[in-house]
Amino acid sequence: MSSQPQITPGESMPRARVRAAAGTGRAFAVLAVVQATLIFTITLIAVPLPLIGREFGLDSSGLVLVNAAYGLPYSGLLLFGGRLTDRFGGRQLLVIGLAIFGLASLAGAFAPTFTALVVARFVQGIGAALTAPAALAILRAVFTDGAAFGRAMAAWGGVSVLGAAAGTVVSGAITTWVSWRWMFVIPVVVTTLTLALHRRLFPAAEPDTAGSPPGLDPLGAVLATLGISIGSYGLILSLENSWTSAGVLVSLVIGLALLVAFTVIERRVRQPLLPAGFIGRGQRLFGLVGILLSAAGSGLIAFLLALYLQNERGWTTLATAGAFIPYTAALIASNRAAGPLIGRFGAMRVATAGLIISATGLALLANLHPDTDFVVGLLPGLILLPAGASLVFSAGAVLAIAGVPASQSGLAGGVMNTAMELGPTVGFAVLMAVAATRIDTIDGYAWAFGAAAAAHIVAAIVGVVSARRTSTSAGDSIRTTV
């Protein structure tokens, strides 16, 4: 796709540039809504989960399976989805992924049984894993100018966490006023509109003249998908079972063994699914760790505070959803500020500052007790955590994609989204294990918030040291302008 706007006969260059800018703006808006919807679909199930459990007569293990059925294939297939995108093109994979995602969402809305709902959520995750890296590859093709792409990535990072917050708020309202089944209508509408507009807004993949397209590495794809999915399932099981229980141990051991095998195989194949050094190159690793921690912290606050307000304080579903409105407002405000801040101070410094702000919010929530006042005790944390997380997501997205050639845009999108998905799985399970060490439930919540704050501070210290050592490196010198 050419970086110069195409001029129609009789049209001036300024007008052509305005038209081109409007086109990229519309493309970004649609892609951002798609990305937000993919993340929205993760969290939309959390608030109405008790109602779903009563309707289908589920025990705690059934509720865990409903909650996890979407995220397991989503996180497990992202790397392979990225490779497919780089092989066949972003627009083609987006269409396939959205078609699967939309049809599965429709099936979820009409699911007559527990099994049907779990299958629908699982297939949704498959579609999402194909869609997410494809959307990022299209974004790279739309914004051919480096500075414009940097600005787009700064905004893109905050889109996902905004989708997560919207899932919590919107699902509570829809469940209260209509039915939990209507939550699945939103993904159907987004999918339908995007598929209707995709040819008009998104460029078709250009042929790769630099060399042959990347191989699929089927063995690596199978090992990575199963390793991440089975290992993640073991961590999810640990939320309801002892770490020494057979189900947890077997899942974790198998998942770890598959990931070790994946690492060994990738060193021997000619075209590995995940090239050696890709994750640790430059300051990409710091950006990915920041995204993972912020996703874990955001998931923790949404899950624990929803339980605290409903089970310990007796709040209604709608009131609990309303409590997260300031959370959402802070995300939006911080995301709008992220681009200019990255342009002025660099992605590395903004990510580090975001970790410190998030840590402060989590530390305040570590003072949680049975009678904590919402305005004084909870609201500051509900504002600071998302404000910092949005900065980390935005700056982390810039760091994660920096220096990646266009031919690996899908891979970069898959890796970044994998970090985002593993946060609420790996990080969340570890933090909930910390909570389980306390006898008192609310005391356990407080300890989990404290542990999350400590992890953010450690990462921020690493960021400060790294920024000082490599202040002139490509990752830190990334600038965006507004």
Q: What is the pLDDT of residues 178-230, one digit of tens each?
A: 888 999 999 999 999 999 998 898 887 654 545 556 667 788 888 988 998 89
Q: Can you give the pLDDT of all 482 residues of the chain as single tens digits?
A: 444 444 445 554 444 444 445 568 889 999 999 999 998 888 788 778 778 888 998 876 787 788 778 888 888 888 888 888 888 888 999 999 999 999 999 999 999 999 999 999 999 999 999 999 999 889 888 887 777 887 888 788 778 777 877 777 788 788 888 888 999 999 999 999 999 998 898 887 654 545 556 667 788 888 988 998 898 888 878 777 788 888 889 999 999 999 999 989 888 888 888 887 778 776 888 999 999 999 888 888 887 888 788 888 888 878 888 888 898 899 889 988 988 999 888 899 999 999 999 999 999 999 998 889 999 999 999 999 999 999 999 999 889 888 877 777 788 888 888 888 888 777 777 887 788 788 888 898 899 999 999 999 999 998 888 766 655 444 444 454 44
Half-sphere exposure (Cβ direction) of 132: Cα atoms closer than 13 Å: 38
pLDDT at 439: 83
CB under 8 Å to 144, separation ≥6 — which residues?
A: 1, 2, 3
pLDDT of residue 13: 43
Q: Is there a contact between 286 and 351 (Cβ–Cβ < 8 Å)?
A: yes
- Residue type at position 459: A
Ramachandran area for residue 206 (φ above 0: left; ψ -120 to 50: alpha; else beta): beta
Query: What one-letter code names the amino acid at 195?
Result: L
CB 136 within 8 A of CB 412: yes
CA distance 86 to 442: 47
Residue 108, pLDDT score: 94
pLDDT score for 480? 41
Burial environment of residue 2 by CB neighbours within 10 A (0 to 12, 13 to 18, 19 or more): exposed
Residue 382: CB partners within 8 Å, gap ≥ 6?
301, 305, 323, 324, 326, 327, 330, 361
Question: How far does Cα 384 stand from its chain's mean position?
Answer: 19
Task: Report pLDDT for 203.
Answer: 83
| CB-CB contact of 299 with 236 (8 Å) | no
> For residues 15, 21, 23 and 26, what is the CA-based torsion angle, rounded to 10 degrees?
-140
Q: How many CB atoms lie within 10 A of CB 11?
A: 12
| CA–CA dist 230, 359 (Å, integer) | 30
For residue 310, CA distances in Å to 48, 238, 320 come to: 12, 23, 7
- Taking only the tens place, the pLDDT of each residue in 114-131 is 999 999 999 999 999 999
Write the burial class of residue 114 (CB in 10 Å: 0-12 exposed, 13-18 middle, 19+ buried).
middle
Look at residue 299 in the predicted model and tell me its pLDDT: 81
- The confidence score (pLDDT) of residue 213 equals 63
pLDDT of residue 455: 94
* Other CB atoms within 10 A of residue 91 CB: 20
77, two tokens = 């297939």
**pTM, 2 dp:** 0.81
Distance CA 258, CA 35 (A): 29
